[in-house]
């Protein structure tokens, strides 16, 4: 994976589980289709779930299921489980537990945050968003245009490289900017954005910064302190956590002072202290336990004195193990005459998510053909509509292939063979 991670000079990260051991944690990887073992390249839309995550969720529902803040054992146990989950997610993003808000998903949490922020905005205040973003990081701010009369300005992407136009970012940022909304990584192209740079530029003019880290979270270690972001959101089902019924589990980080002062819509009897004042209604308790278990799964892959240290070691080693995979996939696809690749090449800051098209074939047809080979890939616009439009592929869409912690070089070779056979 070509994610830029911090390393300690002169020290090697501790060894992590072998790929065979990691794959053994995922029952879904035993599935076959059409005589083939399924190759899951759909991780950017949601990863497979390790056995331990499901077991923890089942245990909660079987043994501890209750609502919160009441004076009997299962309710008290639920309170403790949620507190423990906040600590796990705080370690995941390098925050304090009181800065972790749970909700249905990143989209819902972002709309909720936008409404709270918008109550402090005036007409003609400005919000800076980007063309590279998933629409969950655009639509909530667009809604404030109608509700509050603010102006949303869009920073351009460079179609040829799939990167953000930083010159345009500088031009559009002004003393009228109240918020910069930026993705840590493009879910369509895998492009990494320099969040630290964006935060420094925003703060220099008194603006706050919101980071969509949904696509980044399974590939690089989030650090809200180092990035100096004011708000950040991600979703557990992208980093080996659960889908549960209708809602997923979303995680919102906010600086403690901001969570305590923003005018969040809430019921009068609901708690008024952070972080619960930013949460609405009864939470998805079993999903929250699953999100924490996903963090613990990642931390279990490598040794270390603390959970944060184990996470750092695991992400570093996964990066080093996965970087050759994305290079192998990109290079192989580039050799196929009918294939066109989009986004930054290996060696540039990126996640192991590749987008491509096949001449004369809509993306859905490519995906259907690859299913015949037991290969599961996503297709379309992935809710990154502006990206696909700027690339001239709004009609047929893109094919997206993502490598995850359980992806093997043999699966990459199978995918290349499948595309060659089209």
Query: For the segment 246-289, what is each residue's pLDDT rounded down to a tens digit?
Result: 345 778 999 999 999 898 888 888 788 889 888 888 899 999 99
Each residue of 168-204: pLDDT tens digit?
Answer: 999 999 999 999 999 999 999 999 999 999 999 999 9
The answer to whether the peptide bond before residue 264 is cis (omega within 30 degrees of 0) is no
Residue listed under structure tokens 């529902």: 61
Rounded Cα gap, residues 29 and 23, in angstroms: 7
Architecture of domain 19-49+307-420: Alpha-Beta Complex (3.90)
Counted residue by residue, the chain has a size of 422
pLDDT over threshold 50, residue 1: no
Averaged pLDDT for residues 120-147 = 96
Q: Which two tokens stand for residue 103?
A: 């909700």
Each residue of 19-49: pLDDT tens digit?
Answer: 999 999 999 999 999 999 999 999 999 999 9
Rounded Cα gap, residues 148 and 167, in angstroms: 28
At 13 the pLDDT is: 56
C-beta of residue 236 within 8 angstroms of C-beta of residue 242: yes
At 10 the pLDDT is: 43
Which residues lie below 8 Å from residue 233, measured CB to CB, with a gap of 6+? 106, 109, 110, 113, 210, 211, 212, 213, 214, 250, 251, 252, 253
Q: What is the mean pLDDT of the chain?
A: 93
366: closest CA among 384, 329, 394, 339? 339
Bridge pairing between strands 375-376 and 39-40: parallel
Count of beta carbons in the 10 Å neighbourhood of residue 9: 4
Architecture of domain 54-298: 3-Layer(aba) Sandwich (3.40)
Bridge pairing between strands 163-164 and 157-158: antiparallel
Rounded Cα gap, residues 386 and 371, in angstroms: 27
Q: What is the pTM of this model?
A: 0.94
C-beta of residue 106 within 8 angstroms of C-beta of residue 233: yes
DSSP structural state of residue 260: H
What are the angstrom distances between the C-alpha of 292 and each of 22, 122, 288, 351? 18, 38, 6, 23
User: Out of 101-105, 130-134, 148-152, which region has the weakest mean confidence (pLDDT)?
Assistant: 101-105
Q: Which two tokens stand for residue 50?
A: 């390790």
Averaged pLDDT for residues 131-159 = 97
At 245 the pLDDT is: 38
pLDDT confidence bin for 387, thresholds 50/70/90: very high
Burial 240-265 (b: 16+ CB within 10 A, else e): bbbbbeeebbbbbbbbeebbeebebe
Sign of the alpha-carbon dihedral angle for 145, 148, 151, 152: negative
pLDDT confidence bin for 243, thresholds 50/70/90: confident
pLDDT over threshold 60, residue 343: yes
pLDDT confidence bin for 4, thresholds 50/70/90: very low
Count of beta carbons in the 10 Å neighbourhood of residue 36: 15
DSSP structural state of residue 283: -
Residue listed under structure tokens 């690089």: 220
At 8 the pLDDT is: 38
DSSP structural state of residue 220: S
DSSP structural state of residue 135: G
At 220 the pLDDT is: 97
**Runs of H (alpha helix) within 358-404:** 363-371, 385-390
At 274 the pLDDT is: 85
C-beta of residue 209 within 8 angstroms of C-beta of residue 230: yes
At 3 the pLDDT is: 41
Please tell me if the domain spanning 19-49+307-420 has the same topology as the one spanning 54-298. Answer: no
At 116 the pLDDT is: 95
pLDDT confidence bin for 100, thresholds 50/70/90: very high
Averaged pLDDT for residues 301-322 = 95
At 244 the pLDDT is: 54
Residue 49: alpha-carbon gap to chain centroid: 15
Longest dimension (CA), the chain: 67
At 7 the pLDDT is: 37
What are the angstrom distances between the C-alpha of 37 and each of 88, 354, 375, 404, 410? 33, 22, 9, 16, 11
In the chain, where are the structural domains located? Answer: 19-49+307-420, 54-298
What are the angstrom distances between the C-alpha of 54 and each of 42, 58, 234? 20, 6, 20
At 414 the pLDDT is: 98
């Amino acid at each position: 994976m070509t994610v830029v991670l911090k390393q300690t000079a002169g020290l090697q990260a501790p060894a992590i589980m072998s790929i065979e051991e990691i794959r053994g944690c995922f029952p879904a990887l035993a599935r076959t289709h059409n005589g083939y073992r399924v190759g899951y390249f759909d991780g950017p839309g949601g990863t497979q779930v390790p056995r331990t995550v499901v077991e923890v969720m089942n245990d909660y529902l079987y043994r501890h299921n209750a609502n919160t803040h009441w004076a009997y054992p299962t309710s008290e146990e639920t309170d403790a489980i949620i507190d423990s989950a906040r600590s796990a997610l705080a370690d995941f993003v390098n925050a304090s537990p009181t800065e972790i808000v749970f909700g249905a998903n990143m989209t819902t949490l972002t709309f909720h945050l936008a409404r709270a922020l918008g109550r402090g905005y005036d007409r003609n205040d400005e919000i800076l968003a980007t063309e590279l973003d998933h629409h969950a990081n655009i639509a909530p701010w667009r809604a404030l245009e109608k509700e509050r009369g603010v102006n949303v300005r869009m920073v351009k992407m460079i179609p040829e490289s799939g990167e953000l136009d930083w010159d345009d970012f500088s031009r559009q940022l002004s003393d009228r900017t109240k918020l910069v909304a930026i993705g840590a990584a493009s879910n369509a192209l895998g492009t990494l954005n320099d969040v630290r740079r964006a935060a420094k530029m925003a703060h220099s003019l008194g603006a706050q910064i919101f980071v969509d880290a949904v696509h980044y979270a399974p590939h690089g270690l989030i650090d809200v302190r180092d990035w100096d972001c004011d708000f950040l959101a991600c979703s557990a089902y992208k980093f080996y956590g659960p889908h549960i019924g209708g809602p997923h589990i979303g995680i919102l980080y906010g600086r403690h002072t901001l969570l305590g002062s923003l005018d969040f819509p809430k019921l009068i009897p609901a708690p008024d202290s952070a972080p619960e004042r930013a949460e609405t209604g009864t939470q998805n308790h079993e999903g929250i336990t699953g999100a924490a278990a996903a963090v613990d799964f990642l931390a279990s892959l490598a040794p270390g004195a603390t959970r944060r240290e184990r996470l750092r070691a695991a992400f570093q080693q996964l990066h080093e193990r996965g970087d050759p995979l994305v290079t192998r996939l990109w290079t192989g696809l580039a050799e196929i005459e009918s294939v066109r690749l989009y986004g930054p090449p290996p060696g540039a800051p990126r996640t192991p998510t590749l987008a491509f098209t096949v001449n004369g074939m809509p993306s859905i047809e490519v995906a259907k053909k690859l299913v015949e080979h037991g290969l599961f890939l996503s297709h379309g616009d992935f809710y990154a509509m502006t990206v696909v439009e700027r690339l001239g592929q709004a009609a047929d869409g893109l094919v997206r292939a993502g490598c995850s912690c359980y992806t093997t070089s043999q699966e990459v070779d199978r995918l290349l063979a499948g595309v060659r056979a089209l």
